[in-house]
Chains A and B, each alone.
Chain A
C-alpha cells in the first residue's frame, strides 16, 4: 500500500519502473549540447505539416511511436496515455493521439506537465489500476509564440529574463515490472503565486513553486539535499535557478551544486541566443526522457528529484493585470 508522508508526499509501494524514454526535437535543440541523446531531430519547423500546431502534434505522436519501438511494446499493451501541452484546449496532445486507439487523459500543467503526468501515472500503477502508462508532453516554439507572444515575423527584442520555448516532445513508458529506474515517491505541488506580473520572467514566477515543492518533499521524506544526485527543475532557466537558490538558502537549505535545470541543459545559453534558456512542456519532457534516463542507465545518476515547473498563466489574464500562479510537481527517481 502506498503511504502518505506528511501532507503532500506519496511514498509508493510498488515503485513503478521507467521502462523507456524517447524524444524528438527541433533544429535549434538539435544544435544544442544534448543533440546526441535525442532520438530524432526535425529540421523543418513545419515537420512536413501545414501548420505549427499540426507540426507539434506530429512530433508528439512520432515520439510516442519511437517510444513503443524502443520499448518493444505494442500499442495494445498500453493501458493509458497521460499527456498535455501548452496550446489552448490542449490540442497538440489530443490531435496527436486521436488515432492511436488507447485510453487518454489530457492534462494541463503548463510546463510542469511531464512530472504531473508521471505523478498521476505512478500512483495509478502503484494502486494496481493499470499496468503500463505512457507519459508525454510537447511544445513548439512557433505555436507557442503565436499563442503567447507575437507573430513569428514580427520584429521584437527579448527582454533579459526571457526564455525560448523548446520545440520538442518527450515520452516515457511506466510499467509495473521490468528493468529501469524506479519512481519511489511523488510530491504533487501546490499553486504558488508570489505576485510576479512579467510574462517575460517566467523563471522568477516559477521558482517559488519549485522551492515550495522541494522543501515539502525533503520535509515529508526526511531526506536532505545531500541524498540527491541532482535536483532537476523543468524550465526555470538561468535566472529562475538563481532565484530558486536564493529562496532555498533563505529557507535554511544550501542546495550546493545539486541544482540542475532542463532549460539551461538543452541550449548553449551563450551561443544560441535563447537569453535565460529553454522553456515549455517539451523542454523537461525531452531532456528527462533521453539525457537523464541515459545517465541513469550509465550509472552516473542514481537518485534524481525531478521537479518540472509550470507557469499557469494565460495571455488574457495577464492583459487583465493578473499575476502569474505557478506550480511544481516532484517525482523522485531512483536507480
Chain B
C-alpha cells in the first residue's frame, strides 16, 4: 500500500487533534492542594514553636511530621487520590517525596524485603536525592572557592 501521508505530517496531525489539559482547572486544584499541605506544615511548625523549639529543630521536626503524614496517607491508599486531584500540588510538597518512596516500597514487597522493598524504595525518589546531594556538593565547592578568593 502506498502511504498517503508522511511521518512528519502524521505527528503534526496528532499534535493538532490531541485533546489538551484543562489548564485552569489543573492550576487551581494544584494551588489548593499545595496550599493546604503547606498550611498543615505551618500549623505543625507553630505547634513546635509553642513547645519552644528553636528554628532549626522546628524545621527538621516539621519535615519529619510531614513525611510521616505523606507515608501514612500512602499506606492507607489515599495519597494517590489526592494527587489525582491536585497534580503537582501533591507531588511538589515533601509529602509527595514521601509518597514516591513509600509507594514503590509497598508495591515491590512481593519481590521480597531485600531486592523488593530495599532495592526498589528509591525507584522514583532516587533522582531527587542524587541530584539534590550532588548539586549540594557543587554548591559547597563553589562556596568554598569563593571564600578562598574573597
Please report A residues at the B interface, Cβ cutoff 8 Å.
50-51, 146, 150-161, 194-196, 201, 204, 208, 212, 215-216, 219, 239, 242-243, 246-247, 250-252
Against A, the Cβ 8 Å flags (1 = close, 0 = not) of B110-140 are 1000000000000110000000000000000
Q: Contact at B107–A151, with CB atoms within 8 Å?
A: yes
Residues of A within 8 A of B84 (CB): 155-158
Against A, the Cβ 8 Å flags (1 = close, 0 = not) of B94-118 are 0010011011101110100000000
In angstroms, Cα B121 to Cα A153, docked, is 13
Among A152, A155, A208, A252, the most chain B Cβ lie within 10 Å of the Cβ of A155
**Is B17 an interface residue, CB under 8 A from the partner?**
yes
> A201 with B96: in contact, given A151-B107, A153-B103, A155-B79 (CB under 8 Å)?
no
In angstroms, Cα B8 to Cα A247, docked, is 14
Complex A-B: 30 CB contacts under 8 Å? A146-B107, A151-B103, A151-B104, A151-B107, A153-B77, A153-B79, A153-B106, A154-B100, A154-B103, A154-B104, A155-B79, A155-B90, A155-B91, A155-B100, A156-B83, A156-B84, A156-B91, A157-B87, A159-B21, A160-B21, A161-B18, A194-B7, A194-B11, A195-B7, A195-B11, A204-B14, A239-B18, A246-B13, A246-B17, A250-B4
Name which residue of chain A comes closest to B15, CB basis: A204
In angstroms, Cα B106 to Cα A150, docked, is 12
In angstroms, Cα B23 to Cα A130, docked, is 56
**Is B44 an interface residue, CB under 8 A from the partner?**
no
> A160 with B20: in contact, given A153-B77, A155-B82 (CB under 8 Å)?
yes
10 closest pairs, A vs B, by CB? A155-B83, A151-B107, A154-B103, A153-B103, A151-B103, A160-B19, A195-B7, A194-B10, A204-B14, A151-B104
Residues of B within 8 A of A204 (CB): 14, 18
Q: Contact at A153–B19, with CB atoms within 8 Å?
A: no
In angstroms, Cα B8 to Cα A93, docked, is 38
**Is B5 an interface residue, CB under 8 A from the partner?**
yes
Interface SS of chain B: helix
Minimal beta-carbon separation of B89 from chain A (angstroms)? 10
In angstroms, Cα B123 to Cα A146, docked, is 12
Q: Contact at B13–A243, with CB atoms within 8 Å?
A: yes
Please report B residues at the A interface, Cβ cutoff 8 Å.
1, 4-5, 7-8, 10-11, 13-14, 17-21, 26, 74, 77, 79-80, 82-84, 87, 90-91, 96, 99-100, 102-104, 106-108, 110, 123-124
> A212 with B1: in contact, given A51-B110, A150-B103, A151-B106 (CB under 8 Å)?
yes
In angstroms, Cα B70 to Cα A88, docked, is 31
Minimal beta-carbon separation of B82 from chain A (angstroms)? 6
